[in-house]
Structure 1
């Protein structure tokens, strides 16, 4: 069989696992359309609106923190099932909330679900997919997030005419049930099975997902080699400086993703279109839908290019584009938007910014965070990076309206522009290129002390005649 041809069963498994991203995106997107109606019904100030938005991120951070030990003990599959159940409970609670306190608690439960999903799904995908398509498959998770956001924006727009915010929030229940049923059919991660000394079952899963028994056996042998390191998780973090480096890099990458400014566009899109001069709810909601559609379509760029161009070049291009767009938006808001031509120009710049994010930092940060951690500490490392994502997400969601009210729209967007410039520098200095490199090779480079930016490269050490090559 052609070794470059991907097993169809692998594609199907990855598609089902990526459904968790759809729930993630729906949860992010629905609040943008529902928030104005919630604020009106419960009489919420800007600060209280920020709490309703950001409590989900707090729940997600807590969910991600618990996901590492849970995924390690129960497995990736059962963790995804629990996430689906939490999605159902949280969305029903939001739909029937009769006061802001119940709504806040329900949003926290949804956050727990998102934290579990955002930890487990990329981790599972990285452990299931072969290295030649690993970037594309993990990017598929991000594509599902963008589709979820778009579907949420469309449903919000359809329901906004009657102000049906409860239906906006309750719609998540239906795909959550589909996710639960779909995950029941998935195999467990072969790497997790090997960690639990269930090597025979791990081999069977790999034979199902790979093109040949030989390919499956070779991968299983690599997994066994990586498991020879006996330390795990926190113990490994305490005693191994190389693992600390990859953990810190994962945390840094997630802060870089969130501080691009994309999060505020997704959570507060109607507010941003209002700032741009679109005064009616209908204009703001359709603008939000266009933003969501752009987000979906641009993610296909990442899926097409991530395993051809590589992670690092696309990240540098994306951060550069986002920095320029934020600078232009800040200037336009500073100068004033007074006519339709300027309004639509602002929208075009905003859409270009979304393209920059969706083709780069959106999917590729998740790809890298799931690739750079050694198997012995992967649950711990991905827990730290995922929790960092939601802490940064919470900071952004809880401060955007306050920044707008205090330093003004122009300075807020300029601030995000500067952050994108910082991300370019950090990418050059620390981010590795992991294209077409197995997780086990990345781990070997990390653990022998190669600089972080080089752990994704094939490095051959010169050796004396008659000696074994360095491993």
Structure 2
């Protein structure tokens, strides 16, 4: 029996059992790479439960607490800024390995910290890993996935962020009974170590291999990831054509107004994601629930429920992003968030003196989280990985990711101050207004990229087509 017959037999065996080895491999690769999101979620979620215990132990002021929260975002901004160079020089896979190692160091450091400054320092270290991973993981997933599954694959990263947040909230609740904030931080080192091991088995990005001139390896990787060898060959040709023009992001920024448009759109999308207000809940849920009249134990359990709903709602985006498209889901999400924030602001303004009003406040928080998790949470990463032209892709994604973390840091460092100055209700009215504006911005500027070739969208962008018309 010759090799061709062997291969045919293997294919028939796979078909007869109904097991699709290629799809299974893609799922495994997607999940392992998206574990970077799990680690980011753990680091985002842990501070909500640990902050009060840590603050009491070291007598941290309100300002110090805000900076303990936002120190991670400062590190993430720096990590995102250097991620473009690292992912280009080291490769997507090695950058993920580096990020995993830094996750371990940061988690252990936070668990062993001895003062407010030392906690800030190790939160910055954790942030470096988060920023590097937030850039590299969606980029890697978008380059591994086919056009038909790209939206779902990149959305998997944000899904894993929500899984990480939920696990952190559950862990926080468990350790809250003993007040052991060190273990709240320390448990993140365990999945970080597993992620470090798992990512070493991932294939290299075929696009990066071609950039490095390793064409044979790129072909082997794509053949292992696609059912049809012809599809793999077409992808290789398309990648080679795109790469004939080298990365000249800074030159494009200076000389090409069309690239500046896509860059501005990426920056706007990431700012919209953070100004929607999700992280005031992720970082300060116990504080918000305290304002609603919940006791300490109820605060932790309600926070865990919020994390669960945030995770489950992300499945909506993963399941619908390549069916409904990006824009319809964003319209729904921002509308739900605007209404949820406005209703909660109204409730807070009138006071919550009954159990019914307290339960309604939790319900509105859950509605808001559902709106975010099904839309802006995952889809901004999807869109930002799609809209940048090849010549300036690394710079475009790096700057949009940097914007995400800088805006995140501003929100995290100002929320407690905002509640003190304009009141809890006024703060939520502000975020409700932001979300209402984002519905309009989505209509005016965001393209529908469902099922569109990155190459086609790039040609339309550089020819001067309006941003909202780049896709369908």
> What TM-score do you get using the length of structure 1 for normalisation?
0.95
> What's 2:66 paired with?
50
Give ranges in structure 1 of 5+ residues lacking alignment. 458-471
**Secondary structure in 2 aligned to 1:186?**
coil
1:330 aligns with 2:330: no
CA contact 1:22–1:145 (8 Å) conserved in 2 = yes
CA contact 1:257–1:365 (8 Å) conserved in 2 = yes
CA contact 2:64–2:116 (8 Å) conserved in 1 = no
Residue 99 of structure 1 deviates from its aligned partner by: 1.1
User: Which residue of 444, 447, 453 corresponds with 2:462?
Assistant: 447
CA contact 1:223–1:440 (8 Å) conserved in 2 = no
Give ranges in structure 2 of 5+ residues lacking alignment. 1-10
CA contact 2:270–2:400 (8 Å) conserved in 1 = yes
1:303 aligns with 2:318: yes
Residue 337 of structure 1 deviates from its aligned partner by: 0.6
RMSD: 1.2
> What's 1:17 paired with?
33
User: Which residue of 409, 434, 441 corresponds with 2:424?
Assistant: 409
> What's 2:450 paired with?
435
Moved more, 222-231 or 50-59: 222-231
Residue 263 of structure 1 deviates from its aligned partner by: 0.8
User: Which residue of 290, 297, 300 corresponds with 1:282?
Assistant: 297
Counting only pairs closer than 5 Å after superposition, residues 71-150 of structure 1 correspond to structure 2 as 71-150=87-166
- CA displacement 1:230-273 (0-9 Å, x = unmatched): 35222232222222211111110000000011110000010111
When the two structures are aligned, how many residues end up with a matched partner? 454
**Secondary structure in 2 aligned to 1:112?**
helix
User: Which residue of 214, 236, 242 corresponds with 1:226?
Assistant: 242
CA contact 1:437–1:456 (8 Å) conserved in 2 = yes
- CA displacement 1:383-437 (0-9 Å, x = unmatched): 0010000000000000000000010011100000000011111100110111011
Hey, what's the Cα distance between the residues in 1 that align with 2:410 and 2:203?
36
1:318 aligns with 2:333: yes
Hey, what's the Cα distance between the residues in 1 that align with 2:236 and 2:389?
15
> What's 2:275 paired with?
259
1:28 aligns with 2:28: no
Hey, what's the Cα distance between the residues in 2 that align with 1:395 and 1:425?
23
- CA displacement 1:285-310 (0-9 Å, x = unmatched): 00100000000110111111100000
> What's 1:7 paired with?
23
> What's 1:394 paired with?
409
> What's 2:289 paired with?
273
1:192 aligns with 2:221: no
**Secondary structure in 2 aligned to 1:7?**
helix
Residue 378 of structure 1 deviates from its aligned partner by: 1.5
> What TM-score do you get using the length of structure 2 for normalisation?
0.94
Hey, what's the Cα distance between the residues in 2 that align with 1:48 and 1:60?
19
Residue 351 of structure 1 deviates from its aligned partner by: 0.5
**Displacement over 3 Å in runs of 4+:** none
**Secondary structure in 2 aligned to 1:234?**
helix
Hey, what's the Cα distance between the residues in 2 that align with 1:192 and 1:146?
28
Hey, what's the Cα distance between the residues in 2 that align with 1:202 and 1:236?
28
**Secondary structure in 1 aligned to 2:109?**
helix
Moved more, 448-457 or 408-417: 448-457
